[in-house]
């Protein structure tokens, strides 16, 4: 997944220790064309955690007595498919 590979560059690689925005390195010191799988998985994990937290916040912040809340959630602001 291309997006994940780009996101992976935002974090430090747990395998080769490449810093954020730096490409992963081979054991020879040459840059890899793709980040390590572990780096991608780590960033995927972080994204999922963040998403889960956002859902949690959204649920907690949701006003209970607002009659139009379902309209707001599923209506005008929903992205068109």
Site residues for Zn ion per CB under 5 A: 13, 15-16, 18, 24, 36
Tokens of 23: 């490409």
Q: What is the DSSP letter of 21?
A: T
Q: What is the DSSP letter of 31?
A: B
Q: How far is the CB of 50 from Zn ion (least distance, A)?
A: 22
Q: How far is the CB of 64 from Zn ion (least distance, A)?
A: 47
Nearest CB to Zn ion, comparing residues 27 and 68: 27
Q: How far is it, in rounded angstroms, from Cα 26 to Cα 33? A: 9
Q: How far is the CB of 45 from Zn ion (least distance, A)?
A: 15
């Amino acid at each position: 997944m291309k997006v994940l590979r780009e996101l992976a560059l935002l974090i430090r690689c747990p395998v080769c220790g490449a810093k954020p925005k730096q490409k992963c390195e081979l054991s020879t010191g040459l840059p890899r064309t793709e980040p390590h799988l572990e780096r991608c998985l780590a960033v995927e994990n972080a994204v999922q955690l963040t998403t889960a937290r956002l859902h949690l916040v959204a649920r907690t912040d949701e006003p209970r007595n607002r009659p139009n809340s379902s309209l707001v959630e599923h209506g005008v602001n929903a992205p068109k498919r």
